[in-house]
Structure formats: structure tokens, C-alpha cells
Chain A
Amino acid sequence: MKKAVLEGLLFVVGEDGLTFEQIEDVLEINEEESKELLMELKKDYEDDNRGLRIDFLGNRFKLTTKFEHREYYQKLIENPETNVLSQSALETLAIIAYNEPITRVEIDKLRGVGSVQMVRKLVAKGFIKEVGRSDLPGRPILYETTSDFLDYFGLATIEDLPDMRDFLEENEGVEEDNESDLYTSKYVEDELN
């Protein structure tokens, strides 16, 4: 029964997603049980006859459509939207994500250009937020990425970002980390290959 309630809960919260704490509070179960329940439901959804799946995005569990069905959703849209983030937006976000919390001046320095407008834009888009002030002179504002940022890029947690070292030394060291099925968002799985 609780599994069914959990399914309903995930539907109701939609893109807001659920945390373990919420599941535990609402269903009045402990952490162990909630993990088990989620795992079970996640397994159920893996069935080919199901159109949804449970994803861990931006630190929350969310009900999403399946990647492999994308072509059908595309047919629903008459004018596919190709509104993606600009190179400067991606650059700024990457710099913030790897250095957070970070001040605007530090972002400017790493990018080599002024970022006032871009930072404002990213705050407005909800990808970054102010998280306090630095102890540096003038007490500049510190910025950090949000869970919306993680979700937008299909990342489960900030640790999901690629290792910076792989890009600094130009080596092709690819690490596979499969320790927990539950905490990772792998909607892509092997469809890409």
C-alpha cells in the first residue's frame, strides 16, 4: 500500500521532487524502509510496459518520462524548442559549479571578462543563488549553484559533475562509479551507444 502512496506522492510533487526526509515524514517510516520502498518502485518502473521512471535529479527523487521514448514526445511538439544556454552562460556556470561558493570578482578573473550581466541572468534563471557574503574586503556576495542547475543538466548531485582533473591534464581517464543505483541519474544508460 505504501508503495502506491509513494507513487501518488511522486506524481503530486512533479518536478519539485521528494527527499528521503519528506518520504519518511509523510509515510511515517524510517530511512531504511523508505529506501527499500523507493528501490522497489524504481524496479517496477523499469518494466518495459511502464512509461515513467524514478530519477534522482538535483538531490531529489522525481518522476520523469523515459529517455527512450523521446521521439514520441517530440512528435507532440510542433516547433521543437532549441533554446539552449549560450557558451558564456555554460562557461560561467561551470566556473561557479567547480568553485562554489564563489564571488563575482573571482568568476571575472577565471573567465577573463566581466560577468555582472551573466551572473544576474543566471540568478534570474534560478541556476545560481546568493548564499551569503565572503570575508574579503567589501564583503562581496557569494554564489552557488542550485538544485535547478543540477536538474537542468540531468545531474543527481554536484558530485556528478565530471572530474576537473580529467580536463586539466588532458588525459582520458574515465572512471565509472556504480556504487549506488539509487543516487545516480542514469536515464541515458546504453541507448546512446
Chain B
Amino acid sequence: MNVEFKINDFEGPLDLLLHLIKESKMDIMNIEIEEITKQYMDYLDLQEKMNLEIASEYLVLAAELLEIKSKMLLPRQTVEEDEEEEDPREELVNRLLEYQAYKEITKVLHEKESLRREIYTKSPENIKNYIDEETEINVDVSLDDLVEAFKRYLARKKDNKPLKTKVTVNEISVSSRRHDIKRLLKSKKRVSFFELFPVLTKEYVVATFLAVLEMAKSGELTIKQEKAFDDIICEEVVR
């Protein structure tokens, strides 16, 4: 069996089925349901073995194929004479034919698309300066109306603002905080632990806390607390 095409190469189950029909040189108007169902199922199995995810749509068509197959196997019911016997494949064949037509048309569209890309138009000119800016002001407008209008204008302005915003990541490193603390201790000798956190962002607090711990460990400062819940004092260690 042809494994050249992976499941993702197909646009959907109809695309896959058309491909299989073409591969086995079947007439679309006279599909050998048993054979094509087998091929279709084998193909899905193979894709699954290759660890490719199969969208549920493919399984829906698999179920349809199996249903048609079973209907074909059942002995034909005796139909009333004037009624034409319905081929269980008919609905599927019609869908395939229609889908195939759209697929063919996409080739035309694709061609037209590339041709159209060869010619250019330009953006319209800005002719807003011809718009009459003079606005007559109704006399019975209260100050409240004006304020209200201005509020609405501001709200609209806000909506017009592009959603884009600049994101700057200000990286705070432990070493930079260490450096800052060292300088602070040099000038002040002793500071309250809480003074070390002028900025209360998560990154800042974490970096500062780690810096204090590291400095205490390496003996650059000492941490003292007189009694529980008292202020924590950091002192410079002069070496």
C-alpha cells in the first residue's frame, strides 16, 4: 500500500477517499465498496501505527463506508416495481463528485490568485480634508451634556488605542541586588530588613531576599532580631 502520503497531506476524509479511488483506478460512479473500505481502514490503521493522530472526521467516514458495505451485502429487498432501487452508494458518490469539483475549482482559483497578484492598485487617497468640520452647536446643551459627551469621547479614544503595548522585562538579578545592598550598608552601616524592599514586585522581592541570604551566608552582613516580630536589622560586617 502506498504510504507516500501522510494523513496530514489530505484536506479531509473525502480527499483521502478520492485519492484511494484514483490510486486503485476505480470508476467513481462505480466504487467497489468492499475494496475501498478495506483500503481506507488499512490506511487509517497504518497512520495510527505511525503514531499520527487521526481526526474524528476520518472515523465518521469510516463508519459510513462500513454502513454502505453492510447494506450492499444484505440481500436486496424486493422493491415495488415503479420505484427505482436505491444504490446505497449514491449519497456518498454525489458527495465525492461535488467535493472533487470544488477541488478542481481550487486549481482555477489558485491560478487566478497568482495572476491577480501581478497587477496592482493603490490605497485610496485621504480626502478627509474635504469633510466639513464646522459643527453647529445646539444652544440647549447643558454642561452635564458636554461632560457626558467628553467622557464618551475619552472612552472611544481608549477603544481606538492599539492593543499593542511594549513589554519590557526588567531583569532583576540576585547579584545586582547584592551589589545594591552592599552599597547601602556601606553608607548606612545598619538598615532595617524592610528597607531593602523599596519595590514590591515578585521578582524584586525574591531577588532581594536571596541576596540577603547569600550575603549572610558569606558573612558580608549579619541579621539580628531582638525579639519575635521585632524589626529585623541587617548590619554590615567590616572585614
Interfacial residues, chain A to chain B (CB-CB below 8 A)? 11-17, 55, 62-67, 70, 73, 84-85, 87-88, 90-91, 93-95, 98, 110-114, 151-155, 161-162, 164, 167-168, 187-188
Contacts and interface: CB of A to CB of B under 8 A. Distances in A.
A170 B31 CA distance: 17
A125 to B, nearest CB: 13
Interface residues on B, range: 35 or more
Nearest to B118: A70
Interface stretch (B104-112, B138-146, B154-162, B181-189): B104-112
A153 B116 contact: yes
Interface stretch (B74-82, B93-101, B207-215, B229-237): B93-101
A65 B120 contact: yes
Question: Interface on chain B toward A: helix, strand, loop, or mixed SS?
Answer: helix
Interface string B1-22: 0000000000111110000000
17 contacts: A11-B122, A11-B125, A13-B124, A14-B122, A14-B125, A55-B119, A62-B121, A73-B118, A84-B117, A90-B109, A90-B113, A91-B106, A112-B15, A113-B55, A154-B112, A155-B112, A168-B98
A87 B11 contact: yes
Contact of A95 (B102, B115, B116): B102
B101 A168 contact: yes
Given A94-B102, A113-B12, A162-B108, A14 B119 contact: no
Nearest to B14: A112
A63 B11 contact: no
Contacts of A11: 122, 125
B115 A91 contact: no
B114 interface: yes
A153 B113 contact: yes
Contacts of A113: 11-13, 55, 57
B127 interface: yes
A167 B12 contact: no
B118 to A, nearest CB: 4
Contact of A14 (B12, B55, B123): B123
Contacts of B11: 87-88, 91, 111, 113
A6 B11 CA distance: 46
Nearest to B111: A153
